[in-house]
Amino acid sequence: MDRGDLLLDAIRRLYDAVLEPDAWRKALPALVATVGGDSTLFLDQDLRSGRVASASGCGHAPEIHAAFAPACEAGLMAPWMDGPGRGIARPSSAVMSDADFARSDFYNETVRPTGTFHSATAALDYAATRRGFIAVGRRRGSDDFDAGSIAALQVLVPHLVTALRVRHQVDAGAARTRSACAMLDRLDIGIVLTDASARPQFANARAEAMAAEADGFALGSHGIAAALPAETRALRCAIAAAATIAATPAQSDTADTIVRSATSAVQTALPLSRPSLRPPLAAHVMPLRDAGFEGTGAASHRVAVFLIEPGRPPDIDGRALAATYGLAPREVQVATLLAQGRSPAQIAGKLGIGLGTVREHLKRALAKTATHRQANLVHLLLSTFVNPVR
């Protein structure tokens, strides 16, 4: 396979991993082959705690990958992860000279046992509270990564970021769901599976509800549509471009045309304006390949459209809140409405009770959760008890 074919295969496998948890182990070897390395390491770090949520890769035993987690948490990898150029692929030697690297504690304590030296790296900001780090390594004694290898990794970086971003959204609601269709129906984001012409083949419950609202997004036999013609054209162009990634390349396709088509399919988010003047919907367009969702027209759908609603009030898991802190039902109601942006006066009007009664419920909720301030109570609910499915 030439590099264009390798790029296309790696991009496909990255997007396969969005909805298929086991596909991640297949995506990393394809990435290594594209960049021209011997192994890879991927770290997923929680920025709130600084802890590494997972360390994986290929080319080494799992315990070798896991050894990088404490090095990351101790700041030994900071020059590559915290420096300027997030989302920029670069060789490790561009951050630290080979001589300095060979003398560093990080190399001698963590990298040296892996048998690698040179690496091609990229830090990946894909969520407000998470970031990833990818490093493709070569065995000690091999040449450093050349410009072509770094350019190949750079082509993959935006696809990797987009796949991680949407996987992060999906993981929040999919952890306990066995059936793929049931999982998609329960997610609190809209998901539509379409063919290459943007005709919907499946829409989950949230997407159906959003279409019924007729506020920036519509489902129809002629294709999914936005409120504005220009946005509909942009959305359908992105779907068509994403479908080229899922399709088998034609004999006439060259490496350059494959890379151009694949790169044009990547969008941080397509804004879809809403006539209600609420914040625009954010549409993420992703290619699908052999996803196999039973009963959803798997043979014809090629693209998934993920619809996220900025500013939608969070759904608080009241049962978990009550069980954890012993809150009474009315205390849960008041705390939940507060976390959804309502003032005490608005809460009183909605529940049909006096303002003094609302304040008394809040006082008890603050005492039971040991938060002491309304802002701290809201932070607790939003950071711990938001339900990713409804």
- Domains, the chain, with CATH or none: 3-174 (3.30.450.80), 180-308 (3.30.450), 318-384 (1.10.10.10)
- Kindly report the average pLDDT of the chain as a whole number: 83
pLDDT digits (tens, 9 = 90+) for 110-121: 999 999 999 999
Higher pLDDT, residue 13 or 104: 104
Q: What percentage of the chain exceeds 70 in pLDDT? A: 83
pLDDT digits (tens, 9 = 90+) for 139-178: 999 999 999 999 999 999 998 988 888 877 766 654 444 4
pLDDT at 178: 44
Ranked by mean pLDDT, the top range of 26-35, 161-170, 185-194 is 26-35
Average pLDDT for residues 105-114, to the nearest whole number?
92
pLDDT at 99: 94
pLDDT at 253: 54
Opening angle at CA 11, ends 114 and 226, nearest 5: 140
State the Cα–Cα distance between residues 158 and 59, nearest whole angstrom. Answer: 23
Q: What percentage of the chain exceeds 90 in pLDDT? A: 41
Higher pLDDT, residue 186 or 255: 186
pTM above 0.75, yes or no: no
pLDDT at 386: 74
89 has a pLDDT exceeding 50: yes
- Among the ranges given (53-67, 231-245, 265-279), the one the predictor scored with the smallest mean pLDDT: 265-279
- Among the ranges given (23-32, 143-152, 282-291, 320-329), the one the predictor scored with the smallest mean pLDDT: 282-291
pLDDT digits (tens, 9 = 90+) for 366-385: 999 998 888 888 888 877 88
